[in-house]
Structure 1
Amino acid sequence: MKATVKAEDPTPSGGERIESYLTSYLDHYKGMIEPGFAVLVTGPWGSGKTHQIKNALAPAEYYYLSLFGLQSADEIRASVFAAMYPTKDRFKKIAAFADGVNVSTGGYGTLGTKGLPSAIVGALVGNNVETDRIIIFDDLERCKLPINDVLGVINRYVEHHKCRVVVIAHDEEVAGLGPIKEKVFGQTIRVSVQIEGAFDAFVKRHDLQADALFLANHRSEIIDIFKSSGCASLRNLRNAVDDLCRLRASLRTEHLTNASAMTELVRLFTALSLEVRMGNLTQTEISNRAGARMQNTVARVNRRGNEEVEMSAFGKAQEKYPASDLSGTLLKDAVLEDMLFAGHFDHEAIAASLDGHPHFASLGTVPAWRMFMDFDSLPEAQSAAAQATLLKEFEDRQIDGHGNLLHHFALRFMMAEHGLIDAGRADVLAQCKSYVDDLQRQGRIEVVESVWYGRPAGRREVSEGIAYWVEDSYRAEFQEIDAYIHEARSRALEATFPQRGAELVALLNAGATAFFERVCDSNVQTDPLSVVPVLAAVDPVVFVDAWMQAPGENWYWISGGLASRYKPMSLFDKLSDELPWITRVLELLQEREAATDSAMLRLRIKRIRAREEIPPLIEDAVEMRRDAEVRAARRAAPITPTKEPPVKRPRKATKRTAATS
């Protein structure tokens, strides 16, 4: 009588019990003679089912074949035959009987049958069956044959040939096996991931002693991260182990001997590698981890009332690893992106990323703000030195780069918030504004990038690949100083307009396309001056005079440059300050046309294409501006309550009105 005991693990979290049960049961099963049933081994995808079964049996105790891609019963039987008789001499003996029919033999290609009918050849192949070993059928769910047909073929080996059979299937496919499952399988064993044993096996695959030592030193961290990930695929663990060895090859001795840095590095890289391979994190999140992590905070700030805020993908990943910071800066975003998505391990970039981290750099070789941000992992004296440097740099106005400035200001708010300096939020805000004003007076404020000119400051969250230290308690003040800096940088850019405008006027007499290439988007490049109203600082008379004196071959490109510059919406949006300027330029061209005595010059001015193409754009911009002003006025107007008209109530019916009705 066949065994039908369910062999599910009574303690699913205990990998040791599952492994010992599988081994002991296969020891029992391989000693059975004509058991009359097969054993089904299931488990999650990538959980090491095949690995565990092969480890439980000696190579001489099983015939192994994969059902992956097999499309017929003949192919399954031929694959079994190929596994049992791996030498080609056996195939030649079968092929010697006939000619003209081919039977697939799986790993050995097709078997020529020299004329013998395929049914006879199938019988020869199907009936040459050895029963000395267990037959292992792997990848049940990947067979192209209908599942009941596959099990019918397998059952023939069990009942007709009296074989011992083990079938390996993915968890999700087991439910679809149908009623025939109970007929074929007398024992089901569910295998769970055996992480420790699998890790040790993966380590043995690496011949370099340095790799094996590195992995052995960080065995507990890697296994801990893998368990925290919730990943059920040992393939992902194997790939992470392989990539860690590639990462190790980029590290120098001073890196490898810094134990705390290496622990942080291994945990960071392993976690991100697993999250990317599981599809939880995309290239977008990895390319800006600090920004991705801040999404949850920004969402909480912007939420309405008590509405639930859905956690971001990066936030969900971070929750799994409370002892690790997935936005940690030992490896910069670009370096991680290169490794995890392009498979490129740039030794120099990796080493440089580590060298710039406080684990390896000293105060003076990295910015003070960068050093101070890692005060949690630094000796107190080193943190105190970094703080003292920060305060001195602020007092002496030593910092002027935009990103560094925001890092400084954010940390100053943080120090005030936690009592590290004697100041309140309003005090720090005033101090930071005074700092910006001083830079402006000294001409040291960094000009705003052209693409951001005329736009709100937005909410900057990161610089140098590192998020600003902004807490909810002072977020509003930080955003206010960010906007204040943005306005100062915009004024600094505007201060350059007269000089830049003069440069553009000079280009009217330079190469034919020189002006065109600077004032509008072209197929070659986008010049920064094409998106800022620099021409508003140019005297229209000076511009038209220079145009009239420009070489004739330049006129086409000057006109085309202006027409392309004022494409729809630009005169209402980013170049709105140039609306009066271009209007006056067109008026001057009309005046020059009327005033000239030269018929040829008159015709040339008349044919300037900008005179036809730009006026409709001006009209549209004027109308849009007028509409915007009306809408703004409506929003600003106070809402006066209107009196509700009195409600007319029906009179009560009297005897007289009732009679009249």
Structure 2
Amino acid sequence: MSVKLDPNQHVVDYLRHYVRSPSAPHFAVMLNGPWGIGKTFFVKEFVKSVADEDLRHVYVSLYGLNSFDEIDDAIFRAMYPILENKGVKFAGRAAKTLGKYFRFELGIQPKDFLERANSDLFIFDDLERCAIPRIERILGYINEFVEHEERKVIIIANEREINDCERYQSVREKLIGKTLEIQSTFHQALEAFIGAIENVGAKRFLSSNADVIFEVYNQSELYNLRILQQSLWDFERVYCALHERHKLNETAMIVLMSLLFAFSFELKAGRLTTNDLRGRHFALIASAMRSERDEAASLPISNAQNRYPEIDLGTSVLSDETLVNIFDRGIVSTDEICNDLDASSFFVNVEDEPAWRTVWHSFERTDDEFYSAFERMEKAFAARAFVVPGEILHVLGLRIWLSKIDVIQKPLEDVIAEGKEYIDDLYESGRLEVQEISSIRDSGYAGLGIHQHNTPEYKYLYKHLNDKIQAAAVDRYPAIAEELLDNMIADPELFFSRIALTHEGKNEFYNIPILASADIDRFVSAILEHHPSQQRAILMSLKARYENNKLDGALAEERSWATKVRNELFEEAGNLSDISRYRLRRNLTFALDEVLQLGEHAPQTSEDESSPGGN
């Protein structure tokens, strides 16, 4: 790292003069600057630099403190670190708990200990964030140290954020004799921040690329050291998730680091939200195609791109979803990050890459790679080889886009018709993969945004695909119902986990009226052949399935089926032994009568069947 002039050297020089003064100056020094500029870091580094001069100091943050008692307590905790023990409590200004440690007299005032503590310097940070009302009261409190105790005091604040500015200006001159503006000291702070990084590899990489970080930091125009430090922490977490082969690719690592720092700066500054990360690739392309008259309506992501002209914020080195996970959810997944990197131009083997992904990455592939993949994608399209809904949507979106840029030299309406025909062919041949509709995103799949997903042409095909998937699911109800009957016979617990919402299993049919297609006679016979305990378990699984008025909602088509099952079982119970009849009818009444809302219409018996019993 190259040597840089310290823009705060004059502040250091003045503070050295101030704290070395043999006599009490009778005024405080104000260190002023915006949030995150590095004021606290600067002061703590200054204190370290004069530590060999036996400077005794007390540092207190006023952030959130709402009484003088709380400030007193904070001062004593700074004087005596043992008091940071969570078991130590202060009783206001009496501070009686101190007696447990120092054998002071009960009831003595904390201020009475200032002379005994004999600290040379008191530092009060975050003045603007103190919760005590009326700024003059806070300054009056601090003035006691300056005037009456003849101590040296440094106050740290962002004066622009101090409420009641007029009142503050009228009283500050009585206390503050010198105001010094703190400038961002990037290189000194970065060196300290990197020094605190635990991972040796991350520390070495960041240190060797400090100039790159400096460039991104300057382009952000934030000049906020706190955000810088937080961004370093974010990068360290990602670095630790990488495989060694990724770390050895210096170019890829610099691209990754630059992308993460740029987005970290923008998100932490509030200039971007995580929603802006979704679809960023297409948003940046669309923004670049706008005319100058649309500049005022530019998107936040395009404004960010303008701030970092040498960083491609639309790069797919990390997917949108991975970035959202990192910055919004705090999820750093080795699998997600490494899979994204492996699919990027830095690591991908194009020959092994699915054709549609190569076409999607057209901005990062050669012409030969693109056109070869495009030809393979078109052949696969003609052969109806894409059956996963997410892949189908990608191909449909890509073909719309390729038609618009004349790579596919057909009218757009023909491309739409071909897409619809593709979906219809898969449906007719029974090859359309059935998924729950809510699980099929219209805007992205496999970590990549879908081309043209906001266009009416794509939305038409997306709706048609959803309609056909739903129709295919209904077509398969009888076969799946037979499968569930087999589950019920062989493994009632598996049956339960598939038809009801539980904490185990897939629960894939909990809200799909699939049992309406099940054979009632076979279902009834299978229950009757089960052990009594299994009979009750199966009936309770139906109860769990239909609770919360499900038969009035998603499972309405099953009401007739469930009622017939209940009634046939009730009737068949009449052919059983006395105890079996009693047990089965009692279980039926408890499990199904309420959820079926049978009421007085339920078949009746003279036996007491109001609640279930043991088996």
Question: Residue 471 and residue 269 in structure 1: after superposition, are their counterparts in 2 closer, same or farther (change >3 A)?
Answer: same
What is the CA–CA distance in structure 1 between the aligned matches of 2:376 and 2:390, rounded to whole Å?
17
The correspondence for 1:402, drawn from 389, 408, 428, is 389
Residue of structure 2 in register with 1:477 after alignment: 457
Query: How much has 1:558 moved relative to structure 2?
Result: 4.3
RMSD: 5.3
The correspondence for 2:157, drawn from 157, 166, 169, is 169
Question: Residue 265 and residue 104 in structure 1: after superposition, are their counterparts in 2 closer, same or farther (change >3 A)?
Answer: farther
Query: How much has 1:360 moved relative to structure 2?
Result: 0.8
Q: How does 1:506-525 map to 2 (within 5 A)?
A: 506=486, 509-510=489-490, 515-522=495-502, 524-525=504-505
The correspondence for 2:185, drawn from 190, 194, 198, is 194
The correspondence for 2:516, drawn from 523, 531, 536, is 536
1:424 matches 2:426:
no
The correspondence for 1:616, drawn from 576, 583, 597, is 597
In the alignment, structure 2 segments of 5+ residues that lack a partner are 63-67, 82-93, 286-295, 602-615
Query: How much has 1:411 moved relative to structure 2?
Result: 0.7
Residue of structure 1 in register with 2:125 after alignment: 139
Query: How much has 1:227 moved relative to structure 2?
Result: 4.8
Conservation of the 8 A alpha-carbon contact between 1:358 and 1:371: no
Conservation of the 8 A alpha-carbon contact between 2:559 and 2:596: no
Residue of structure 1 in register with 2:42 after alignment: 52
Residue of structure 1 in register with 2:347 after alignment: 360
What is the CA–CA distance in structure 2 between the aligned matches of 1:543 and 1:495, rounded to whole Å?
20
Q: How does 1:301-316 map to 2 (within 5 A)?
A: none
Query: How much has 1:460 moved relative to structure 2?
Result: 1.8
Conservation of the 8 A alpha-carbon contact between 2:31 and 2:154: yes
Conservation of the 8 A alpha-carbon contact between 1:136 and 1:168: no
Residue of structure 1 in register with 2:443 after alignment: 461
Larger radius of gyration: 1
What is the CA–CA distance in structure 1 between the aligned matches of 2:205 and 2:111, rounded to whole Å?
58
Render the CA deviation track for 1:400-446: whole Å, top value 9, x for unaligned: 21111111111111111122211233211111122223333443321
Question: Residue 605 and residue 153 in structure 1: after superposition, are their counterparts in 2 closer, same or farther (change >3 A)?
Answer: closer
What is the CA–CA distance in structure 2 between the aligned matches of 1:503 and 1:353, rounded to whole Å?
38
Partner AA of 1:38 in structure 2: A
Partner AA of 2:213 in structure 1: I
Render the CA deviation track for 1:319-370: whole Å, top value 9, x for unaligned: 9767656675434577657765787866566434422333211213332222
1:290 matches 2:283:
no
What is the CA–CA distance in structure 2 between the aligned matches of 1:538 and 1:78, rounded to whole Å?
75
1:502 matches 2:482:
yes
Residue of structure 2 in register with 1:262 after alignment: 253
Question: Residue 605 and residue 227 in structure 1: after superposition, are their counterparts in 2 closer, same or farther (change >3 A)?
Answer: same
What is the CA–CA distance in structure 2 between the aligned matches of 1:74 and 1:459, rounded to whole Å?
57
Question: Residue 36 and residue 208 in structure 1: after superposition, are their counterparts in 2 closer, same or farther (change >3 A)?
Answer: same
Query: How much has 1:55 moved relative to structure 2?
Result: 6.0
Conservation of the 8 A alpha-carbon contact between 2:40 and 2:125: no
Question: Residue 318 and residue 527 in structure 1: after superposition, are their counterparts in 2 closer, same or farther (change >3 A)?
Answer: farther
What is the CA–CA distance in structure 2 between the aligned matches of 1:531 and 1:467, rounded to whole Å?
29
What is the CA–CA distance in structure 1 between the aligned matches of 2:71 and 2:426, rounded to whole Å?
82
Partner AA of 1:47 in structure 2: I
Residue of structure 1 in register with 2:610 after alignment: none
Structure 2 SS opposite 1:384 = helix
What is the CA–CA distance in structure 1 between the aligned matches of 2:507 and 2:546, rounded to whole Å?
15
Residue of structure 1 in register with 2:58 after alignment: 65
Conservation of the 8 A alpha-carbon contact between 1:129 and 1:161: no
Question: Residue 493 and residue 28 in structure 1: after superposition, are their counterparts in 2 closer, same or farther (change >3 A)?
Answer: same
Render the CA deviation track for 1:236-280: whole Å, top value 9, x for unaligned: 312322443454455456534545533331123224444666688
> TM-score normalized by structure 1?
0.67
Structure 1 SS opposite 2:597 = helix
Q: How does 1:570-581 map to 2 (within 5 A)?
A: 570-581=550-561
Render the CA deviation track for 1:549-574: whole Å, top value 9, x for unaligned: 55555443444444443445534433
Identity of aligned residues (%): 26
What is the CA–CA distance in structure 1 between the aligned matches of 2:349 and 2:472, rounded to whole Å?
34
What is the CA–CA distance in structure 1 between the aligned matches of 2:432 and 2:111, rounded to whole Å?
90
Partner AA of 2:351 in structure 1: G
Question: Residue 34 and residue 538 in structure 1: after superposition, are their counterparts in 2 closer, same or farther (change >3 A)?
Answer: closer
1:19 matches 2:8:
yes
Question: Residue 479 and residue 531 in structure 1: after superposition, are their counterparts in 2 closer, same or farther (change >3 A)?
Answer: same
What is the CA–CA distance in structure 2 between the aligned matches of 1:118 and 1:432, rounded to whole Å?
82
Question: Residue 444 and residue 183 in structure 1: after superposition, are their counterparts in 2 closer, same or farther (change >3 A)?
Answer: same
Structure 2 SS opposite 1:65 = strand
Render the CA deviation track for 1:40-77: whole Å, top value 9, x for unaligned: 11223332124435667851576542134784898899
What is the CA–CA distance in structure 1 between the aligned matches of 2:341 and 2:473, rounded to whole Å?
36
Q: How does 1:267-278 map to 2 (within 5 A)?
A: 267-274=258-265
Partner AA of 2:225 in structure 1: L
Render the CA deviation track for 1:460-519: whole Å, top value 9, x for unaligned: 2121122212254xx222122122222332333334322322233445654666655544
What is the CA–CA distance in structure 2 between the aligned matches of 1:425 and 1:605, rounded to whole Å?
63
Render the CA deviation track for 1:220-248: whole Å, top value 9, x for unaligned: 54334445556564133123224434544
Partner AA of 1:410 in structure 2: G
The total of aligned residue pairs comes to 561
Conservation of the 8 A alpha-carbon contact between 2:124 and 2:153: no
